[in-house]
Chains A and B, each alone.
Chain A
C-alpha cells in the first residue's frame, strides 16, 4: 500500500528586539553566564512583568508578512510547569487569544506551488539553559536566555512530504529575516521547531495518529527526523499495530528518535490568564503603522527580478531566498552591472565560493559594487573571464577592490599585438606536431596552441586576440 505523510510544524523564533520581553535586560547572545539577567527575568519574589511593546510590533509584523489576521483584543496566559530553567515555574505565553491567526505562506516545491496554512502566531518568553555534568556533581543554570522574546508559529497539517516541510521552513526563515524580526540562527537556537507527523494510506481522508518530535536543531535534522518517523510509523501500521500518540525526542547523532518518558510529557499546564499583565489591545492604526514598515517580501521580489531583469525563475528564487544576497545583487545592479551577467556570476562562482567555504551571504567581506567593478574590468578587456574568477577568490580572502588586486598582482591582460606575436611564434616553434595537425584539418589543435600561449603568460594573454593571431599566422 502507498502511504502519505501528514506534517504540521511548530516553529519557535527568537525575536531580535534589543531587550527582553518583560524587563530591560539585553537579549544579546553569548554573554558570560548569568550576566544578562535581573530580579525580574529570574523570577524573584514580588517582581512584576511589563510587556515590551516592540515584541508585539514584531509579532504583528510577522503576522502581516504571513497573511494573518491580527487579534484586536488579546491577552497573555500562564503555562505552569516545574523545571529549573523556568525560574517562575510558569511561562508567560498566549493560550486562546494569540496576536495573529489564520494566515498562510505560499511555497514552491519542484515547480509546484502550494499554500501552507498558519494556524496562529503567539508571543512568549524563552527559558534559561541547563548545563549538565560539566562540573561532575550536578547541573548549573544560565538565566541569560530567560525572558528573551519568542514567537511560536503553528502551521496547519498541510505538508505531505519532508521536502515540503523543508521548503516551508526555508521560506519562513527567509520571510522572518526579510522583515527583520529574527536572525533565525539555528546554531544559536534562535530558530527551533517541533514536528507533528502522522501517516495514512493515500486517498484516505482521516489522519492517522500523530507523534510530536522535539529537539530538531537544523533543517537537515528536520528532514532526517521526518523521514525516520514516517518510516517508523508505516512499519507499525503495516505490522497491524497502532501508532501511539506520544512526544518523541530526535537524536541527530544516532539518527533515531525515542519516546520521551511519560513524566516528561504528561503535563497539565493549567493555563490561566496572566493577572500581572493587562490585555493586549491592538487597534487599526497600530496595524497600519506596522504594515508601513514591511519591506518587499521574497516572493514579490522574485517575481520582480523575473520581470524587470529577465532572470530565470530558478536564479531569481535562489538570489531572493536570502535578504542579504538580494541586497547584494541589487547593489551590483545599481552600480551599473548587467543584471543577467551578475546573476550568472551569483549562480556560478559566488555560490560555489560560499558553499566551499561554508559562508553565509552575510559573511561576504566586500560590497556589491566590487562585483560590478570586476565585471566592468572584463568588459573593458582589462582582464579575462578566467582571471576574473581568480580575482574573485582574492576578493574573498583580502576584501579588496578588484581594480587594486589586478594592479597589485599584475593581472592586467596582455593586449599588445607585438607582444602576443612574439609569444605565438615561440609556441608555434615549440609545437610542430600540433601545427601539422591543425594544417591537416584538426581544428582542435588550435585550442591546444592557444592554451600553451595562455600558460606561457600565466593566463594574462587576451584570448580573443590570441585566437585570431594564431589563425592568421598558421593560415599564412
Chain B
C-alpha cells in the first residue's frame, strides 16, 4: 500500500515508530495530487513548498523527542471558506478571488498546534451555497467514483479529496448538510458536530446560526482524532460552548448492546431511492445482530424543515454577505458612476447566480411586512423541530436515516432547477435547524457502483454515542474499505 492510502491513525503509528517521516508522507500526498487532481479538480490552492517545509520542521521536532499531537505530521487540506493567514481564502467566489486573510481561523490555529501539515485549500460551492460544487467560480470538482458525477456539496472537494487519497483528512463546513451529503456521495466518513462545539471564528459565514465546521475522514477512528483536535471553547466565538469536551477516542468501543435506535418513517418514504432504503435497512439489521434494537417512529414536522432551513439560512446569508461591497477587499468593478453604481456592479459581477438567488430570497424574507410571515414563522418551526427531536431522544439513543434521497447525480442534471437541488438536502437540514450532531458513514454501493451513506443523529453534545455506534458498525463490516478506481 502507498502511504497516501493509509488512515491518519495508521500513519500516526508509523510516524511514532519512525518507520516513515512526515516529509515522505507529504511528498506522497503531493505526488498523488499531481497525478489525480487534474481529473478530480479538488484543489484551488496547493502549497507544495510550504507543506514540505512544514513537514520537515515537524520531523525535526519529532526526532528531537518533542511530544506532538496524534495528527502531527499528517497532511490535510481545508475547505476554502476557512481562513488561513496569508493564504488565499476565496470561498470559490470571484468576489474573494484575491483575498488573503491576515488571520488564521481558530481551527487552523488548533491544527497548527497539533502539528498537522496543510497541503492546500479545497474547492466548494460559492460561499458554501449548493449541493454539487457546481456553483464554484473556479472549477468543477468530480466524484472519484464516476467523473461524470458531482461529489456533492458544498464541501464537495473536501469529500472528493479524501476519497481520492489526495489528503489524509480534510475539514469542511456544514450549514444544511454540506459535510454529510458529499461524504455520502464520495463514500467517506463526515461529521457535523453539535452547534457550538467547534469555533466558527475564521469560518467565512454563510448562515451563522447553522454553520459548523467538521471533519471528513477515511474512517471513524480518524474522525474521533480530528474532533479531539478541533473541538473546544473559543473566547473569540460567543456561540462556542464553554463545557468540558471529552476525549472522543474513548468512544471508540466495539459494543452496541442495548443501544436504542429510532428510525423516523418520514425519512424512509417514497422520496428516498429504494436501493438507499434497502442499504440503510441492511445496516440496521447488522446493528441489530450486534445487540442494538431499532424501531420505526414518526418525527413530526419533518416536511417543514426544508422550507424553514431555506428561509433562515438565506435571511442570515443576505446579511452576512452584505459586507462584500467592493470597498475594502476582494473584487471591485472596473468602472462606476457613483457609490450606488459601485455597489450594484461589484455585487452583480462578483457573485454567482445561486448566491444572488439566496441573497434576494433572504432580503425578501426579512423585509418589513414579510418578516412575520417568513423569518419569524421559520424560527417558530425551528423551535418545534427541536422539540420533536427532544421527544424522540427521550426514547432513543441514536436516530438513523439515509443521508440523501439519491446517490451522486450527474453534473448538470439538477443545476437548472434550484428546487430540485434544494430537495437533495431533505435528510440533512433538520439537524442544523436543531443544532444536533450528525455522522455519516459508508454503508454500501448502489447498482451503479456509487457510494451510499447512512446518517446517525445524536443528542446535542453526544458525539460519543454516534462514534461508538459507527465504530462498532465499521469493526464488523468492510464498507469503509471500499475505494474508487482511479
Contact = CB atoms under 8 A, between A and B. Distances in A.
A65 B202 CA distance: 40
Interface string A82-115: 1010011110000000000000000000000000
Contacts of A472: none
Contact of B328 (A87, A263, A268, A272): A87
A432 interface: no
A278 B238 CA distance: 6
Interface string B235-254: 11111000000000000000
A46 B322 contact: no
Contacts of A410: none
Contacts of A136: none
B295 to A, nearest CB: 36
Contact of A89 (B81, B96, B237, B325): B325
A87 B96 CA distance: 15
A278 B239 contact: yes
A270 B81 CA distance: 26
A82 B343 contact: yes
B75 to A, nearest CB: 23
Contacts of B81: 46
Nearest to B369: A268
Contacts of A33: none
Given A48-B201, A48-B236, A275 B208 contact: yes
B86 to A, nearest CB: 13
Contacts of B91: 45
B108 to A, nearest CB: 10
The B interface, classified by DSSP as helix, strand, loop or mixed, is: loop
A42 B200 contact: no
B485 interface: no
Interface residues of A, number: 29
B307 interface: no
Contacts of A43: 323, 328
A20 to B, nearest CB: 14
B310 interface: no
Given A42-B328, A51-B238, A90 B322 contact: yes
B328 A275 contact: no
A39 to B, nearest CB: 5
A87 B323 CA distance: 6
B103 interface: yes
Contacts of B103: 39, 44, 47
A310 B390 CA distance: 69
A46 B102 contact: no
A45 B204 contact: yes
A80 interface: yes
Given A45-B83, A50-B236, A270 B323 contact: no
Interface string A113-142: 000000000000000000000000000010
B322 to A, nearest CB: 3
Interface string B333-348: 0000001100100000
- What is the size category of the interface that chain B forms with chain A? 35 or more
Contact of A46 (B83, B209, B239, B315): B83
Interface string B162-206: 000000000000000000000000000000000000001111110
A42 B103 CA distance: 13
A46 B320 CA distance: 9
Contacts of B400: none
Nearest to A270: B366
B178 to A, nearest CB: 16
A285 interface: no
A89 B359 CA distance: 14
A268 B325 CA distance: 18
A39 B209 CA distance: 21
Contacts of A80: 318-319, 322, 366
B371 A272 contact: yes
B327 interface: yes
B375 interface: yes
A39 B102 contact: yes
A45 B101 contact: yes
A234 B205 CA distance: 51
Contacts of B235: 50
Contacts of B200: 48
A362 interface: no
B209 A275 contact: yes
A82 B325 CA distance: 8
A90 B324 CA distance: 12
A46 B238 contact: no
A336 interface: no
B363 interface: yes
A46 B101 contact: yes
B236 A270 contact: no
B316 interface: yes
Contacts of B102: 39, 44
A173 interface: no
B99 interface: yes
B98 to A, nearest CB: 12
A141 B322 CA distance: 18
Interface centre among A45, A80, A270, A271 (most CB of B within 10 A): A45
Contacts of B316: 272, 275
A46 B371 CA distance: 26
Interface centre among A51, A80, A263, A272 (most CB of B within 10 A): A272
Contacts of A88: 322-323
A354 B399 CA distance: 76
B329 interface: yes
Interface string A254-280: 000000000100001011100111100
B105 interface: yes
A210 interface: no
Contacts of B340: 263
A463 to B, nearest CB: 71
Interface string B85-113: 00001010000100101110100000000
A271 B102 CA distance: 30
A263 B315 CA distance: 23
A43 B89 CA distance: 15
Contacts of A90: 319, 322
Given A39-B102, A82-B325, A272-B319, A46 B203 contact: yes
A46 B105 contact: yes
B363 to A, nearest CB: 7
B34 interface: no
A214 interface: no
A49 interface: yes
Interface string B69-91: 00000000000011100000101
Nearest to B210: A275
A47 B343 CA distance: 22
A84 B324 CA distance: 11
Contacts of A49: 238
B322 A89 contact: yes
20 contacts: A39-B103, A44-B328, A45-B83, A45-B99, A45-B329, A46-B81, A46-B83, A47-B103, A47-B201, A48-B201, A48-B239, A50-B235, A87-B327, A88-B323, A272-B315, A272-B316, A272-B319, A275-B208, A277-B239, A278-B238
Interface of B: 81-83, 89, 91, 96, 99, 101-103, 105, 200-205, 207-209, 235-239, 315-316, 318-319, 322-325, 327-329, 339-340, 343, 363, 366-368, 371, 375
The 10 lowest CB-CB distance pairs between A and B, nearest first, are A89-B322, A275-B208, A270-B366, A275-B209, A45-B204, A46-B204, A46-B202, A46-B83, A268-B368, A88-B323
Given A45-B99, A49-B238, 13 more contacts: A39-B101, A45-B205, A45-B323, A46-B83, A46-B205, A50-B237, A84-B325, A270-B318, A270-B368, A275-B207, A275-B316, A277-B238, A278-B238
